[in-house]
């Protein structure tokens, strides 16, 4: 039973990073379509680092107002946000926005933030605080 538990924990940890790794694997295909070209990698790195703010906020909430932090509704809300972000990214990933005369793939970057944020939070919320 203990070996099965270790395998399941490892699968849970690996599954959480599929969204991030999937974006990096698709990067050679994305740069040929997105207006940022190879600068898209640096934009994605910044988005991934911004996603690490979520665990910091959860830690601060747990430290300073633990009675107000309810994990069960929070997990459901995060899953709903992730589902909506993936659904909307399906339709708008290749749309661009013109800012100061240059095209940017703002919808792709905007919808990838919740997906990368959800990569970090499930492992954090399931571990003992």
The helix or strand, by DSSP H or E, that contains position 100, with its residue range, turns out to be: none
CB-CB neighbours of 18 under 10 Å: 12
pLDDT at 129: 44
Residue 109 makes CB contacts below 8 A (sequence gap 6+) with: 43, 44, 47
Listed residue (84, 53, 58) closest to 71, CA to CA: 58
- Could you give the 3-state DSSP secondary structure of residue 35? coil
Say what the pTM is: 0.70
In whole angstroms, give the CA distance from residue 15 to residue 110.
Answer: 22
Average pLDDT, the chain: 80
Q: List the structure tokens of 8.
A: 């399941």
Residues of the chain with pLDDT under 70: 1, 12-17, 19, 116, 118-129
């Amino acid at each position: 039973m203990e070996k099965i538990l270790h395998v399941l924990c490892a699968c849970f940890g690996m599954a959480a990073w599929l969204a991030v790794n999937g974006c990096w694997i698709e990067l050679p295909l994305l740069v040929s379509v997105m207006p940022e070209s190879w600068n898209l990698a640096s934009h994605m790195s910044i988005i991934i680092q911004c996603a690490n703010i979520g665990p910091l906020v959860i830690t601060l909430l747990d430290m300073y107002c633990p009675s107000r932090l309810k994990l069960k509704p929070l997990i459901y809300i995060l899953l709903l946000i992730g589902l909506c972000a993936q659904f909307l990214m399906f339709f708008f990933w290749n749309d661009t926005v013109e800012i100061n005369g240059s095209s940017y793939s703002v919808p792709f970057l905007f919808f990838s933030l919740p997906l990368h944020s959800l990569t970090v939070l499930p492992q954090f919320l399931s571990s003992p605080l």
